Chain A
Amino acid sequence: MMAWAERTVEVAGTTVHLTRGGKGPPVVVLHRDIGMPAKSLFRNELAKSADVIVPNHPGWEGSRRANWMRSVRDLAVMYRGLFAELKIENAVLVGLGFGGWVAAEMATMAPADVAKLVLVAPMGIKPSQGDILDQAIVSYIDYARAGFHDQKAFDGIYGAEPSTDQLEAWDIAREMCFRIAWKPYMYSQTLPHLLRSVKAPTLVVWGDKDRIVPVSTADLYLTVLPHAKLEVIKDCGHCIDLERPECLARLVGPFIAG
């Protein structure tokens, strides 16, 4: 059983809660819009060969809301500040969905200070076909379920009837998404241009049954990222780390090590 240490760090006037475990090169995992479940097999797999740091975004569970924050880019800049506090350099950034957008922004800010970049069905770019699913008009459970192709995998993580605590956490997370990613919803119009300066080798992973961010968006990332390759997982939804954690770890582990 992997031992995870918890701590809070003051940065930019807010408090970031993070968990850290494993030994090896620093790997920072940035969670998705609906948060990070307490039990994450994917996180444990990564920690077998890396120093895995999983911060909770400010405003999500455990981390105080930064009322001043107005954009996902603000969040990314704040994480650069967190790295300075923790003396993390040249980390691997692993971004899950919404966290992929954050990771992509961070990579554009300091292209020389990212060892590798892993984007798992990232938001952040306007899809060429279809739209990013609007959580504002669906219920908390329907939105979280839309992240899974295999509904049994959802049941296994959140339960067939998620707890009221979980619903509250999703409402808090949703409020924070609105505060920083309302319009345009869940993408940046300038990010695609900035991504051209990213130096890091990049792995983009997508589930071919993603109902949150259309899989065709992967091509847009591949077009602008100079050193990117794509892996598409068959019969998998948006939350790849939750639905197919071992499969994702088998792709990410060698990519980080290689």
Chain B
Amino acid sequence: MHLMYFTEQPMSAYDAKEGLEYGATALTFSNKHFDPVAGSRLYGQYLEQYVYAEDVGIDGIMLNEHHNAPFCMQAKANIFAAVLAGTTKRVKIVMLGNPLPLAENPIRLAEELAMIDMISKGRLVSGFVRGGGQEQLATGVNPAYNRERFEEAHDLIVKTWTVPGPFRWEGTHYQHRVVNPWALPLQKPYPRVWIPGVISKETIIWAAKQRYPYIALNTSIPQTKQIWKLYDDTAAAVGYKSGPENRGYLARIHVAETEEKAIQNAKQFMWMQGEFTGLAHPVWANPSGYFSPGGRRNFVEFAVGRAKNPRGNPTFEEQCADGMILCGTPKQVLPRIRYLLEETRPGIMAVWGNDGNVSHQDSMTCIRLLGQEVFPQVREWAKELGLKSPFEADAPVSIAYARDLKQPTVAAE
């Protein structure tokens, strides 16, 4: 079991009233409300928290990025990854991930990631994402070619890491005269790639065909089971048997010394749901051409307010009741985690511990309790349940390096 710590790095130091009055807290919500003095202080705290996570025995730090929104201060995940590469010694630096379509030059990404892998002495996990719809709009990238760019950028980066240069790349979205960067990953054949996502079928199938672990981002238990069914079926079709080493799960879990404190802080998870997700136009999250054509009809109805948000809009209490948010003392949350492990059987687990306005001190307490009181028990259970991480299972980095395929594969297309 690989256990990670995650925070969105909220930029909570702005007047919440401003967002409510404007009616949106993303994309066009003015950055005149961004306070760099508070930003500098928060970056310092987040870095301190990551280093502390390593100190208390957590296996990995999960990083991500978003643009034009206060819910996430990381505008470039590789910046924090580079900082962690130099300031930590043991934790895996898990990018979940770099939004590939946003890259105009994927070779630059390949170089940056190779540098991070070398500086960290081989601790990089290089996850890739399509990036949310708003990220495309914020960075001026055409949402209609999002998936094509994702797949082509991936193929180019993997080739850059595995095939000696110089070579030439004449693709649909990327053309490069001389691919020959003098920066290559320390890990061979290349750093592990994990693919985070929600319930996008195309992405699940793509990840399974590559044999890249799929990290389900705080999906419900029934949704998560559907994801694994699709992943497992795809894996079988291309000739391998998938298991816990192919499965990751991101859970929102806040722990504190007392139940009262834990509940109070866990309510901050609603910060994002009330002020970000709830306050952005649907066409920003799903620009035309970004989503699957099969979902078009439902989406257009949602976008004009005729249909409910397909993800629902559950209250804090409802989310606690159905396990979408776990909070309490370590003793209180552990049985809920056990249930989650039994039901979804992941080999990788990320805990999204702190959000919104949770104080630095309480964030540090949460990290300490996770590392010292929650995760040791989770590791024991994982052993009992046979939940091996890709590292423990010595899983191939991708299907191209598998030695156990049952039939000729159609993957690695």
- Interfacial residues, chain A to chain B (CB-CB below 8 A): 136-141, 164, 167-168, 170-172, 174-175, 177-179, 182-183
Contact = CB atoms under 8 A, between A and B. Distances in A.
A140 B284 contact: no
A245 B283 CA distance: 31
Contacts of B282: 139
B144 A175 contact: yes
Contacts of A136: 137, 143, 283, 287-288
Nearest to B305: A139
B310 to A, nearest CB: 15
Interface residues of B, number: 23
Nearest to B28: A137
Nearest to B301: A164
Given A136-B283, A141-B304, 8 more contacts: A137-B137, A139-B281, A139-B282, A140-B283, A140-B304, A170-B300, A179-B145, A183-B142
A137 B306 contact: no
Contacts of A175: 144, 288-289
Contact of A164 (B145, B288, B300): B300
Given A137-B27, A137-B284, A171-B288, A179 B144 contact: yes
Contacts of A177: 288
Contact of B300 (A171, A182, A183): A171
A167 B304 contact: yes
Contact of A139 (B145, B283, B296): B283
Majority DSSP secondary structure for residues of B touching A? helix
A141 to B, nearest CB: 6
A131 to B, nearest CB: 14
A168 B297 contact: yes
A149 B33 CA distance: 34
Contacts of B143: 136, 178
Contact of A178 (B288, B297, B301): B288
B287 A168 contact: no
B408 interface: no
Interface in B263-297: 281-284, 287-289, 296-297
A140 B145 CA distance: 20
Contacts of B144: 175, 178-179, 182
A139 B303 contact: yes
Contacts of B137: 136-137
B291 to A, nearest CB: 10
B140 interface: yes
